[in-house]
Chain A
Amino acid sequence: MYTLPSTLKQEIGKYNDLIKEYQSKKIDPKEFKAFRVPMGIYEQREDGTYMVRVRCSAGFITPAQLKRVAEIAQKYGSQLIHITTRQELQIQNLELKDTYHVLQGLYAIGLASRGGGGNTVRNIMASIDAGISNDEVFDVTPYNIALTNYLIAQPDSWTLPRKYKISFSGSDSDNAFAAFNDLGFIARVKDGQKGFKVYIGGSLGSQPMVGHVLFDFVPAEDILYIADAVKKLFSRYGNRRNKHKARLRFVFYKLGKEKVFELFNQIYDEIKQSKQLHFELPLLPSVSPTINLPVGVPADKGAFTLWEERYVTQQKQAGYVSILIPFEHGDVEPGVVKSLGEFLIPFGEDVIRFSMRQNIHLRNIPKQYIATVYNFLQEIGVDTTQSYILNSLVSCTGANTCRLGICLSKGASGRLREKLASSGLGLDQLKDIRINISGCPNSCGQQTNADIGFYGKVGRTDRMFPAYNVVAGAVIGNGNPQLAELVGSVSAWDMPALTIDILRSYLNNKDTNHSFSDYFKAGGKEEIKSLCQKYSKIPDFREDKNYYFDWGSDQIFSLAGKGTGECSAGLFDMIDVDYNTIRQSRDEIKKITDKNKAASLLAKIVTASSRMLLITKGIEPKDSAGIFDGFTERFIKAGLVSGKYSEVVDAVKNGDYAGLPSQKNLVLDLAADVIDLYENMDDSLQFPAEKEKEQPKEEEATNKVALKKDLRGVACPMNFVKTKIELSKLKSDDILEVLLDDGEPIENVPGSVKGEGHKILVQERIGNYWSVVIQKR
């Protein structure tokens, strides 16, 4: 329904040229990728396999387009069409050379892939029930399309620091997650004038953030100016150097809300004064007046009625209904898609929307044809027998196909579905429950705005096992959006059982609580925490091996073969915990007048600041003294932060908080310096000052230099490896002291060191660990 930009045809041609140049190696693969990804073509995990992401503004597509998309997919050998959580389609498993023909085919029917990936304006979402819901303020679809048309015609929409996500909700219930997008609009009417409440900066992902309210109300015509100004703001201040910190929310983290709003307002005023933007609302296709189809009769009336209750909704337009067609994980065969498109053509152009739960919602179906649709769905093999919740589990693709994945989220979701189906719970009462699963801390499975969400992590007993962090209780809309809260963790093996326990607890309390988030607030949170506790015991590997396998894998769980991402993802998560504490405490302290409270908040900031970056040095302190000692040793003495902070660090170490309020500025400077270090950290976890220092270190080492390395917590043989790394920095006769754990480490490392010809000068026990002093040979 959107208008293809006039430059697109030429860009598709250029893409084809680049494919050829890439294949004949005339251009660097990176250069090709830099053009390919923003065009919406991704390489899949399997080498040489590509997918094309098709823009579907507001999740809209016509039946004829849908049919043609399926035909194109079939023609070029794709066996899979995938519906995404951003209401688009992906044509998967294509060969590179064919992607060009696919783009051409899409162009011919008014569809584009540009902006499907990369640092671009992504598909703009809208409420799934826009235009047909009784609850909406007005239909947001035309506004979505108008904004899409405006943005996709601008070349600078494809060269942003990172992706730019926009969404439209029809009412305060915010069912299109406006508060969780970079820019979100919620329909409002003020003095008879249509307009929007505007959210900015929201997003899931690592360090998620609920958007800030930018405007309580703006007239509808202003949305182009706002989207333009946000784009310019993002383009100017977004972090282009580190893509992990590039989304708009990081501009807020860096500059603070007030500053960002001030910058926005400057840009917004400039644009409003200098430009006259044409705001043109498109006309939506009208409902087909006559349909020449036979009216169907269901074979099994009972089954039909149950399905109707579960999957059919009355529209605000009398006589018309909306029908939900579920597809597990949004995966559909092109053949099914083609039949569906063909079947729907007689119903008119405005009958299909893709949902954020990766399903298809039909709309504008005349009541008398409900059974016709039902019979057809059975014919093409769509599930019509199960409760909706079994078909609404959202999972990212997980470690089967994603290099960053830790856990097999799709496997877990499949197992949960089976367990739920046989759980005996009243599943139809759980229709609105949103359960989302991500295989790693990135939020591709959107767990942070779920009722119950999971994200993969590595659990450890004496060996690794697949596990999930459990989050719950997100609040969507009604003026008070909130992210799901971390409530515990669970092994992958017990995750389905835990979920069923949580749902049972919710159902037992459903009468008194309207929604899951109500339940969560009214004691559900504590209940879920204790349920997680119930599953906290992980049997030893010898006792029960099940815990050490992930769902859908016949191999013992390991991170081998997975990308480098997940380890560092875990590391950044740990950093984020302290980072968030610092941020929250800093905000809180502005409001506090009570001296004691201020003192303990400041102590919290000092602790979090001291601990935040220890992990980059491989230090995982076991007690609070370890935090401050580690920080003093590795950050203050190492010259990474100023020595002036010793005073407050030592005070907090000694539990002496009373003097902190008078040193508030020093504490805040400490936090700012630590955050500054973090922001300037490079990919190998080095800080700028260290790079400069590395050179002279070796020159200084002309005489005996005592280097010290804490290798506690490092298992064999990595402790020996790290000892050798340290020794390699030294000259002959120099001294190195290493700290080693009792047991295997102390039994092995000194012997190995001696075996290489170095001298062990001292080996002594200190409590539960050992100090070993080595002289390099």
Chain B
Amino acid sequence: MIMNEQQIERYSRHIILSNVGVEGQEKILDGKVLIIGAGGLGSPAALYLAAAGVGTIGIIDGDVVDRTNLQRQVIHFTPDIGKPKVISAKEKIELMNPDVKVNAYQDLVVASNISEYISEYDFIIDGTDNFPTKFLINDACVLNGKAFSHGGIIRFSGQTLTYTPGNTCYRCVFHEPPPKGSVPSCSQAGVLGAIAGMLGTIQAAEALKYLTGTGELLTNRLYYFDTLKNNYRTIDVKRSDDCPVCGKHPTISELQDIEMPACDLKQL
């Protein structure tokens, strides 16, 4: 991949960074990132990855844009209401940066298709809004040896963890989805829109660091913040020998859909 003059200009602020440079930018341009969910987290992640010049961005989402999305899902605009989210996102990215190839999949990830979707990508971003899918993404990435960024937000707070093969996975920490009804659904709890921006951009930064191989990732550490009280901290999280998917005696060896819609209003 040899950059042309316009690309050199466009990515000059990356190239200047000693940890990125020409080589790093070339890796970004060759990079492939899959974003699952073109919502609150997926929007900022997609925008920053596109601006950075990630060569191929895949986006999966089965929904169409709804007026209630617009408060935080910044890649969608008012005229997009009713449009498939992946198309809306693809249009914005193509306007922003013609270097990026966007694969838009208007689909839901389920046990039967997720391995095929992630197989083509270097890094996966979990931008979903429900526990079953978050566990499904974790399991699929662990079983297929893919790096991914977990992210979750609610009310004024957010958390994120990066998984790379051999390190702590989401299930090591959380084991299994919470029982139905024990956690408020997103639609009941609400979320401050800017929190989605904060967390989604952290996920994008993790993806870019992973692609360029620079710095320390949020592996074996869970980053948690609460903007209401302005607490920001990382919590060390260890790999669990009892983890059902990556422990010593794993019980999960193939993917299964988990019946527990936690944020089910929109899915219906």
Q: Report the separation of the CA atoms of residues A755 and B19 in the bound assembly, to the nearest whole angstrom.
A: 12
Report the minimal beta-carbon distance from B215 to chain A, rounded to whole angstroms.
Answer: 16
Residues facing A in B4-54 (CB within 8 A) are 4-6, 8-9, 12, 15-16, 18, 21-23
Interface contact A724-B16, CB-CB below 8 Å: yes
Cβ-based interface call for B181 (8 A): no
Interface contact B22-A724, CB-CB below 8 Å: yes
Q: How large is the interface on A (under 10, 10 to 19, 20 to 34, 35 or more residues)?
A: 20 to 34
Q: Report the separation of the CA atoms of residues A5 and B136 in the bound assembly, to the nearest whole angstrom.
A: 58
Chain B binding surface SS class: helix
Cβ-based interface call for A48 (8 A): yes
Q: Report the separation of the CA atoms of residues A728 and B7 in the bound assembly, to the nearest whole angstrom.
A: 15
Interface contact A720-B16, CB-CB below 8 Å: yes
Q: Which residues of A contact B79 (CB under 8 A)?
A: 47-48
Interface contact B15-A724, CB-CB below 8 Å: yes
Partner of B8, one of A47, A48, A721: A721
Partner of A47, one of B12, B18, B23, B95: B95
Contact with A along B56-79 (1 / 0, CB 8 A): 000000000000000000000001
Q: Which residue of A lies closest to B22 (CB)?
A: A728
Report the minimal beta-carbon distance from B87 to chain A, rounded to whole angstroms.
Answer: 8
Partner of A721, one of B4, B15, B23, B91: B15
Q: Report the separation of the CA atoms of residues A727 and B8 in the bound assembly, to the nearest whole angstrom.
A: 14
Cβ-based interface call for B268 (8 A): no
Residues facing A in B96-154 (CB within 8 A) are none
Cβ-based interface call for A554 (8 A): no
Interface contact A725-B3, CB-CB below 8 Å: yes
Q: Report the separation of the CA atoms of residues A578 and B22 in the bound assembly, to the nearest whole angstrom.
A: 34
Interface contact A717-B5, CB-CB below 8 Å: no
Q: Which residues of B contact A685 (CB under 8 A)?
A: 4-5
Q: Which residues of B contact A564 (CB under 8 A)?
A: 6
Residue from B2, B5, B22 whose CB has the most chain A CB atoms within 10 Å: B5
Q: Which residues of B contact A722 (CB under 8 A)?
A: 8
Given the known interface contacts A47-B95, A48-B79, A728-B23, the answer about A721 and B16 at a Cβ–Cβ threshold of 8 Å is yes
Q: Report the separation of the CA atoms of residues A717 and B5 in the bound assembly, to the nearest whole angstrom.
A: 14
Residues facing B in A719-741 (CB within 8 A) are 720-722, 724-725, 727-728
Q: Which residues of B contact A48 (CB under 8 A)?
A: 79
Interface contact A725-B95, CB-CB below 8 Å: no
Interface contact B16-A684, CB-CB below 8 Å: no
Interface contact B9-A718, CB-CB below 8 Å: yes
Q: Which residues of B contact A25 (CB under 8 A)?
A: 87
Report the minimal beta-carbon distance from A383 to chain B, rounded to whole angstroms.
Answer: 34
Q: Which residues of A contact B18 (CB under 8 A)?
A: 755-757
Interface contact B21-A728, CB-CB below 8 Å: yes
Interface contact B21-A724, CB-CB below 8 Å: yes
Q: Which residues of B contact A720 (CB under 8 A)?
A: 16
Contact with B along A559-570 (1 / 0, CB 8 A): 000001001000
Q: Report the separation of the CA atoms of residues A634 and B23 in the bound assembly, to the nearest whole angstrom.
A: 25
Cβ-based interface call for A694 (8 A): yes
Given the known interface contacts A722-B8, A724-B22, the answer about A694 and B2 at a Cβ–Cβ threshold of 8 Å is yes
Q: Which residue of A lies closest to B15 (CB)?
A: A721
Q: Report the separation of the CA atoms of residues A567 and B4 in the bound assembly, to the nearest whole angstrom.
A: 14
Q: Report the separation of the CA atoms of residues A621 and B8 in the bound assembly, to the nearest whole angstrom.
A: 22
Q: Report the separation of the CA atoms of residues A684 and B22 in the bound assembly, to the nearest whole angstrom.
A: 18
Q: Report the separation of the CA atoms of residues A717 and B2 in the bound assembly, to the nearest whole angstrom.
A: 20
Q: Which residue of B lies closest to A691 (CB)?
A: B2
Q: Which residue of A lies closest to B10 (CB)?
A: A564
Q: Report the separation of the CA atoms of residues A721 and B7 in the bound assembly, to the nearest whole angstrom.
A: 11
Q: Report the separation of the CA atoms of residues A25 and B266 in the bound assembly, to the nearest whole angstrom.
A: 24
Q: Report the separation of the CA atoms of residues A688 and B15 in the bound assembly, to the nearest whole angstrom.
A: 27
Q: Which residue of A lies closest to B87 (CB)?
A: A25
Q: List 13 A-B contacts (CB under 8 A).
A: A25-B87, A47-B79, A47-B95, A48-B79, A694-B2, A721-B8, A721-B12, A721-B16, A724-B21, A725-B3, A725-B22, A728-B22, A728-B23
Contacts from A to B (Cβ < 8 Å) = 25, 47-48, 564, 567, 618, 684-685, 694, 717-718, 720-722, 724-725, 727-728, 752, 755-757
13 other contacts beyond A721-B9, A728-B21, with CB at 8 A cut-off? A47-B79, A48-B79, A564-B6, A717-B16, A718-B9, A720-B16, A724-B21, A725-B8, A725-B22, A728-B22, A752-B16, A755-B18, A757-B18
